[in-house]
Structure formats: C-alpha cells, structure tokens
Amino acid sequence: MKKVIFSAVMLLAVLGCKGEFENPDNKAVKVKQVQEQSQELTKAQLDAYLQLKGIKDRQGNQRDRALQAFIERYAMAETIKNQPVLDADVIKVELIEKRNDILLKAYFDSYLDNKVDEGAIDTFYQTNADHYKNRKVKLAHILFRIRPSAADEEIKKLQKEAAQVHQEIADGLAFIDAVAKYSQDLATAKKQGEMDWIESKHGDAALLAATIQMQVGDVSEPVHTKRGIHILKLLEEPQETPIPLEKVRDKIRYGLRQQAMVEEQARLRKEASNLIARLSAKGGITIQ
C-alpha cells in the first residue's frame, strides 16, 4: 500500500492538488484540492472499491494498480469538477440518476436474497406439491385436422362436424367405430385411436387439461389444439410422479423473487408518495 500511496501523492502533486494519504491502518485517505473543501476517501471505501472490482487479493501488484487508478481518476475529477465548461446541473442530475439506480439495485439484490432464501423455496415447494407432479395419461382420440391456413369458415365447419360426431357417440356409436369412420389421424386410427402416453412436462396442455375430471372410459367434449379438434377417450388411470425439487428450484426462486419484487416496489412507491406529499406540504418540492 505504501507504494500506491506514494504514487498517488506524486500524481496529485503533478495535477496541482495537495494530497494527504494516511497509513492503511488508519481510517482515511484525504484528497484536498487547492482552495477547495477537503474530500475524504475512507479505507472502507477503498476496500469496497476492491470488492466491487472483484479483487480479492488485498496485497500485491493488482491491488496496488487498481487503487492507484481509482485514486488517480478521483483526483482528476476533483481537479476539473468546477470548470466552467461543465454544466453543473446536468452532471448533478446524472449523478442523482446513477445514485438512484445503484441504490435500488443494491437494495433489491440484498432484499430478494434475504426474502427468497432456500427455506422459502423449500416451503413453497412443499405447500404446492400438487403443482409439481408429472402427470401421464393414456388416450385414444378422433382427430379432425385443421390446416394452418384454414379460414374461420372452415374451422367452424370442422367444429360443427366434431360436435355431431360427439353426439353420435353419446347416442350409442362405439368409439372405435367413430375412430374408423371419422378420424383423420391415420397412424392412430390403425390402433383404434390409441395415442402414446402424454406427459405434462412436454405434452399438449389442452389435452391434459381436458382429462382432469375424466374417469377411465369417459369421452370428452371436442378439444381444440394446434393440430385440430380432438374427441378424447381416457383408456387408463392417469399416472402421477413427483417432480424433484432440484428440477424446479430455479423456476420457483425466479417466481418468488418476481412476486417479492413487485410487492416491495408497491410498498416503496407508497412510502415515496407519502414522502413527496410531506415535502410538498412543507414547500420542499417545487417544479418550475
């Protein structure tokens, strides 16, 4: 540190500044510009700068170079901060805006880390265990295909046809006979409409949702998906297996952090609104 301090003192002398740098065991490093109020860099601030830059080695050349560069830029800024070529109001506003960004980011990073810890994630997972299960269903279907370029009239015609077939089944037409007669999925029609197992982790959500209230042997109302319109029959009891916490931990963390951030932002906005109202009442805020 002595090497850096010495270099910084020499630098400030070249820049026309008076410098006083205390021993690193003391609390502060002072940078005093000619005829200006003394500015102070504390040892804690220098340590914080090293932490910000990710410099973990508190000794050595990397640390020395980093601190020397930091103090050099600080001294240069102190030297020119009152130059008439600078728009003081613009700079002040930019500093305020950067301060706001830094404070809010630092606050929310810390707040969310504390609010959404591993315990909170575990609790949410256990409380919502039913939502973290992989559900598999075995279905047969009758498919009425919808072309990607199909017009509304064509889709309405297929919807009407599917409704009519569904009614025929309700009136007694065997499902396998309806498959053979109407299904446009030739691959499954050869197997009486039987499809492969559909899983919640990568299956069609609309088909899975349609089976929630179904019992084995039930036939669904027509279901609309990207592939077309389906009439479904549940062939076997659905199978459910828990999804391990480690598979969804990051997703839960993200969701909890988003929720916590929205709630905390709302609270802070309310506090800010109250503060603005108090200051306005005292004449502390005026916009011209």
Question: So what's the pLDDT on residue 12?
Answer: 42
CB 259 within 8 A of CB 171: no
The answer to whether 146 and 228 have CB atoms below 8 angstroms apart is yes
Please write down the long-range contacts of 49-53, taking CB distance under 8 Å and 24 or more positions apart: none
pLDDT of residue 196: 94
* Band of pLDDT at residue 73, cut at 50, 70 and 90: very high
Mind listing the pLDDT tens digit for each residue in 229-238? 999 999 999 9
* CA nearest neighbour of 133 among 268, 273, 242: 242
Task: Say which range, 33-42, 145-154, 250-259, has the weakest mean pLDDT.
Answer: 33-42
Worst-scoring range by mean pLDDT, 11-15, 62-66, 89-93, 233-237?
Answer: 11-15
Mean pLDDT of 80-84: 88
Look at residue 165 and tell me whether its pLDDT is greater than 70.
yes
Render the burial of 139-152: b for 16+ CB within 10 Å, e for the rest: bbbbbbebeeeeee
- Report the DSSP beta bridge partners of residue 145: 228
Mean pLDDT of the chain: 85
45-50, long-range: CB < 8 A, 24+ apart:
46/70
- β-bridge mates for residue 136, sequence order: 199, 239
For range 28-33, the mean pLDDT: 46
- Torsion angles phi and psi, residue 60, rounded to 5: 110, 175
- On the question of pLDDT at 47 being above 80, the answer is yes
Q: What is the mean pLDDT of residues 171-198?
A: 96
Q: Structural domains in the chain?
A: 2-84 (no CATH), 87-129+247-288 (no CATH), 133-242 (3.10.50.40)
Under 8 Å CB-to-CB from 204, ≥6 apart: which residues? Answer: 198, 225, 226, 227
Q: Is the pLDDT of residue 186 over 80?
A: yes
82 versus 139: which is more confidently predicted? 139
pLDDT score, position 18: 39
Nearest to 179 by CA among 142, 144, 146: 142
- Mean per-residue pLDDT, 226-246: 95
Find the mean pLDDT for residues 190-217: 91
Q: H/E/C letters for each residue in the chain?
A: CHHHHHHHHHHHHHCCCEEEECCCCCCEEEEECCCCCCEEEEHHHHHHHHHHCCCCCCCCHHHHHHHHHHHHHHHHHHHHCCCCCCCHHHHHHHHHHHHHHHHHHHHHHHHHHHHCCHHHHHHHHHHCHHHCEEEEECEEEEEEECCCCCCHHHHHHHHHHHHHHHHHHHCCCCHHHHHHHHCCCHHHHCCCCECCCEECCCCCHHHHHHCCCCCCCCECCCEECCCEEEEEEECCCCEEEECCHHHHHHHHHHHHHHHHHHHHHHHHHHHHHHHHHHHHHCCCCCCC
With a CB cutoff of 8 Å and minimum separation 6, the contacts of 109 are none
pLDDT tens by residue, 53-71? 888 776 678 888 899 999 9
